[in-house]
Structure 1
Amino acid sequence: MSQQITRSSLDFTRQFSQQTASVLTEPAIDFLADLVSHFTPARNQLLAERKKVQAAIDEGHLPDFISETNSIRESSWQIKSIPADLQDRRVEITGPVERKMVINALNANVKVFMADFEDSLAPDWSKVIEGQINLRDAVKGTISYTNESGKIYQLKPDPAVLVCRVRGLHLPEKHVLWQGEPIPGGLFDFALYFFHNYRELLAKGSGPYFYLPKMQSYQEAQWWHRVFCFAEDHVGLPRGTIKATVLIETLPAVFQMDEILYHLRDHIVGLNCGRWDYIFSYIKTLKNHGDRVLPDRQVVTMEQPFLSAYSRLLIKTCHRRGAFAMGGMAAFIPSKDTQRNEWVLNKVRKDKELEASNGHDGTWIAHPGLADTVMAVFDQALGTRRNQLDVLREHDATISAEQLLEPCQGARSEEGMRANIRVAVQYIEAWISGNGCVPIYGLMEDAATAEISRTSIWQWIHHGKTLDDGQPVTKALFHRMLAEEMQVIQQELGDGRFSAGRFHEAATLMEKITTQDELIDFLTLPGYALLA
């Protein structure tokens, strides 16, 4: 570790380059230090509470709606106002905060770009700092990028609305310490984006808008409410200037959507179906429940009853409160092969037609090449409306906890297990090499899909499941398949790319997080130790 630099009450483990100093200015550090000292102790208590809740579920208690908050669920109230530039979110694109990607995403035929410091960014220190610079330049409208062949990328007039996704509550920023411990990564991301950009954003008719990931309880929503109020008071902004969309991507959170909306009602504009992480959370939360083991990830689609119930409940809950209900991610990547591309666009179209007909106000894509197809689906569904807040689903039958937890039918195949191994190893290799958003087999993979891949195999081993052909899923079977699939990866990528990469480290980490008896919560936590 290099020599620490102390500023305010924070210790920085990296020397400040000129670039770093332009982001970590004295006033910005003072603001960050205030946030960290005020809110880290409560964040640590919230993480401890997560462990308690999980321990009870591990012992046999299933998640359920909370009786003590019945009054919130049963009374009439609505969230506060939604800003004009967030009224129409029919297509949102997501991606990491790399310079060229930021420009391409803001220029795409979409309404919103979610710039991601979380699941699609490996938080190497320089990338986190560069990400803040890239977003600051994007907000100013001065961002440009020149590639190796001299092609210049610049913002078009009227780019998409910028929303910043910060890291989840559990993720640390290891390069900044407070009282000897790494600070919360989400506070680092929030503080710097807010501090450097709120004036410019408001001056151009927008505002400091955020996506909040991995939330598990309404108490975590209360925590973010207090963070937002503190930030607004610090710079003299009216209450509710900061706006947030919360991802409902954990199983515990689906039972507290009304409460999350209520406790963030000054600041929240909607909830989002983060469906890949939700599937991961279903596996992780119910890891000890052998009757709820999921099949191959390829068959866990939104048509599955437990996921359909989740989507419909989110829409009904949000629209009753005047909040947006955003749909999930289309992870497909367009193909240069005409036939394959037609297949991709048809799959995406069908998925988005289901979301639009269910009443979602908009949806996510991972690639600009899908924008026109998905925009056409929502244009047709919306007509002259900007959103679907009028779709109240009032005549739906009540959705029960049993429906949200319903076991999922489908195959457990050898090919499914092998595909999980190949995807997870290649994603982990990319992540520990500093790239959090990777095209693998025609899909844009981020941490969520790798998490599903490795927890799914862990679950099959843990509960002694068999594959459809009768093979018992054991640690020995996994080890054999891992060795074989490493050879497949080497053949697919070529010896040069394979030997230049960090595949052996990735395989070692994959083995550890898939076969140890205690399930590791997030692969990004041990992965972070392997990052610069």
Structure 2
Amino acid sequence: MENGYSSKSLPLDAPAGIRIRGPLSDPSLNRILSREALQFVADLEREFRPRVKFNLGCRREEQARYDSGELPGFDPATRELREGDWSCSKTPAVIADRRVEITGPVERKMIINALNSGAKVFMADFEDSLSPTWDNIVRGQKNLCDAVNRSISFEDKARNKHYKLNDKTAVLFVRPRGWHLQEAHIEIDGEPATGALIDFGLYYFHNHSSFRSKHDGYGPFFYLPKMQHSREAAVWNAVFDRAEERMAAPRGSIRATVLIETLPAVFQMHEILYELREHSAGLNCGRWDYIFSFVKTVRAHPDRLLPDRFQVGMTQHFLKSYTELLIKTCHRRGVHAMGGMAAQIPIRDDPAANDTAFELVRADKLREVKAGHDGTWAAHPGLIELVTKVFDDNMPRANQLHIKRDDVHVTEADLLQMPRGVRTLEGLRHNTRVGIQYLAAWLTGTGSVPLYNLMEDAATAEISRVQNWQWIKYGAVLDGEIVAVSVSKELFGRVVEEEIGRIEREVGKKRFESGRYREAAALFARQCTKEDLDDFLTLDAYRRIVKFVPALQARL
């Protein structure tokens, strides 16, 4: 200990008003939180924090209206903008072909494998597939710096394998956290920092120059999550303008793709693109979060109970309408319309099951490319070859911006039509089993988890949570039972205990006892049975992974 600082803490020369509260055990991470980098993110925080807070307040007001009986719809005040003749800035050549993109957390080995996977783009994720422990956040920034500078490597001593980048790699995109998430380990003027500004600011500060030098003056590139209104996109656009100005970068060199993954945002797609038109790289169908948001938005409507999660597929009318409207909107404005995630992972010990899973992926991606998508997502390197072939066979050009989809006419009713299907006890059990196991992993620092041959992240865990909550809240009657059974807190309590027993048998007693499964089960059960639905599961869980160094004070 020196001058009141832990030997595992940093930095000693933080700018005025900044307090770093998290410990770092690796001295190589110190450069990420340099005085200059912290000053850059603090300046962004001080300028944009009021607008972020305002927008979060608007979200609460809008949800209150939905809870009172309203439903989202197109804004009459921006009709002229939706119908107007305007375009976004031309897509840079380096990202003109995005036919297959792979996503994953900012872990070192994952970054190398994803960049080497053969995909056109790798989206490195600080959001749904990352548990935002302090070490994961700062180490992830270092990993990305090393990747941009091509100095990244990884030594797997257990397998005696060395990982390094190939000569040809995917283009790197980064997804910062959503506006609603804070970074508790950094305080700026006495308040926790905005997670999105920390993720964006540190990455941009350290990598903007190197990135542009490799990509014809463009970049870095980003994915922007969880937005609900174009005013939130306007904040991002102002952040980009300010960052470019501060670093003397060309205006519009930053490009970002927005995930349309909330129900309110689907009615704001033209408006979102307009706000980001100099910085836009298109929109993406964030299908899993979109389903979660659908339930959350209509949570006060007892006549809108979803069927089992696996029956809410992309051929359901409300999802088909959403994807086709996104394609039409993007192509009208001259930017990419990206498809959704294939969450399947290879099943190595069961060839027949693996073939079935791959056929599902092939059919899903064929649907996307035929609809006019310019590219799509995969969760596992083992899917890249399959997905690439589907797009290569059906998309001879770099993209499909020329396909305008003038045949698509989507109404508010189309986007709000309820999906058809059944609600079953097995659906309740599966939601519970997945939710508990995902949370247990998240609490121990892992945010992307293979479960039952699918890659689960926070978005799919959220579907499990809100669907359980909805069924319990309104006593959904289960289909397929001999005697009519309604979902109640008592039934759910029994399901939780039975599924905990099943999880223990599946993972083994030793692993179960050393993990945080009981804690995760209690947290998940509480979230599913609350009178009022929390906006996000991770807001409650985040408090359980925050670790402070009490003695650490920045020099004021």
Using the size of structure 2 for normalisation, the TM-score is 0.94
Is contact 2:207–2:220 with CA below 8 Å preserved after alignment? Answer: yes
Structure 2 partner of 1:516: 530
CA distance in structure 1 between the aligned counterparts of 2:96 and 2:442, rounded to whole angstroms = 35
C-alpha distance after superposition, 1:297-321 (max 9, x if no partner): 0100000000000000000000000
Unpaired stretches in structure 1, ≥5 consecutive residues: none
CA distance in structure 2 between the aligned counterparts of 1:169 and 1:319, rounded to whole angstroms = 27
Structure 1 partner of 2:125: 116
Structure 1 partner of 2:297: 285
CA distance in structure 1 between the aligned counterparts of 2:16 and 2:278, rounded to whole angstroms = 31
C-alpha distance after superposition, 1:205-259 (max 9, x if no partner): 2521000000100000100010000000001112101100000000000000000
1:305 is the counterpart of 2:317 = yes
CA distance in structure 1 between the aligned counterparts of 2:447 and 2:544, rounded to whole angstroms = 13
C-alpha distance after superposition, 1:159-212 (max 9, x if no partner): 000000000000100101123221110000000111111111111125210000
CA distance in structure 1 between the aligned counterparts of 2:79 and 2:417, rounded to whole angstroms = 23
Structure 1 partner of 2:103: 94
> Of 85, 105, 116, which residue of structure 1 is paired with 2:114?
105
Is contact 1:8–1:33 with CA below 8 Å preserved after alignment? Answer: no
Q: Which protein has greater RCO, CA pairs closer than 8 Å, 6+ apart?
A: 2
For residue 71 of structure 2, what is the amino acid of its counterpart? Answer: L
1:432 is the counterpart of 2:443 = yes
CA distance in structure 2 between the aligned counterparts of 1:288 and 1:139, rounded to whole angstroms = 46
Superposed, 1:251-270 pairs within 5 Å as 251-270=263-282
User: How far is the alpha carbon of 1:444 from its aligned partner?
Assistant: 0.4
CA distance in structure 1 between the aligned counterparts of 2:241 and 2:502, rounded to whole angstroms = 52
User: How far is the alpha carbon of 1:379 from its aligned partner?
Assistant: 0.4
Structure 1 partner of 2:66: 57
> Of 190, 193, 197, which residue of structure 2 is paired with 1:183?
193
Is contact 2:29–2:142 with CA below 8 Å preserved after alignment? Answer: no
CA distance in structure 2 between the aligned counterparts of 1:311 and 1:305, rounded to whole angstroms = 10
1:143 is the counterpart of 2:149 = no
1:41 is the counterpart of 2:54 = no
CA RMSD in angstroms, aligned pairs only: 1.3
CA distance in structure 1 between the aligned counterparts of 2:195 and 2:390, rounded to whole angstroms = 36
For residue 83 of structure 2, what is the amino acid of its counterpart? Answer: E
SS at match of 2:377: strand
> Structure 1: which 4+ aligned runs deviate by more than 6 Å?
1-5
1:21 is the counterpart of 2:34 = no
CA distance in structure 1 between the aligned counterparts of 2:90 and 2:16, rounded to whole angstroms = 36
CA distance in structure 1 between the aligned counterparts of 2:539 and 2:141, rounded to whole angstroms = 22
Structure 2 partner of 1:11: 19
Cα distance, 1:217–1:481 mapped onto 2, change above 3 Å: same
Is contact 1:291–1:407 with CA below 8 Å preserved after alignment? Answer: no
For residue 379 of structure 1, what is the amino acid of its counterpart? Answer: D
Structure 1 partner of 2:501: 487
CA distance in structure 2 between the aligned counterparts of 1:503 and 1:395, rounded to whole angstroms = 50
CA distance in structure 2 between the aligned counterparts of 1:167 and 1:501, rounded to whole angstroms = 26
SS at match of 2:187: strand
SS at match of 1:291: coil
Structure 1 partner of 2:398: 386
Is contact 2:17–2:190 with CA below 8 Å preserved after alignment? Answer: no
Counting matched residue pairs gives 530
SS at match of 1:328: strand
Superposed, 1:132-531 pairs within 5 Å as 132-148=141-157, 149-205=159-215, 207-336=219-348, 337-383=350-396, 385-396=397-408, 398-468=409-479, 469=481, 470-531=484-545
Structure 1 stretch 202-211 or stretch 45-54: which is displaced more? 202-211
Using the size of structure 1 for normalisation, the TM-score is 0.98
For residue 22 of structure 1, what is the amino acid of its counterpart? Answer: R
C-alpha distance after superposition, 1:288-338 (max 9, x if no partner): 111221110010000000000000000000000001100000000011121
Structure 1 stretch 143-152 or stretch 132-141: which is displaced more? 143-152
Structure 1 stretch 79-88 or stretch 359-368: which is displaced more? 79-88
Is contact 1:111–1:161 with CA below 8 Å preserved after alignment? Answer: yes
1:68 is the counterpart of 2:77 = yes
User: How far is the alpha carbon of 1:15 from its aligned partner?
Assistant: 4.5
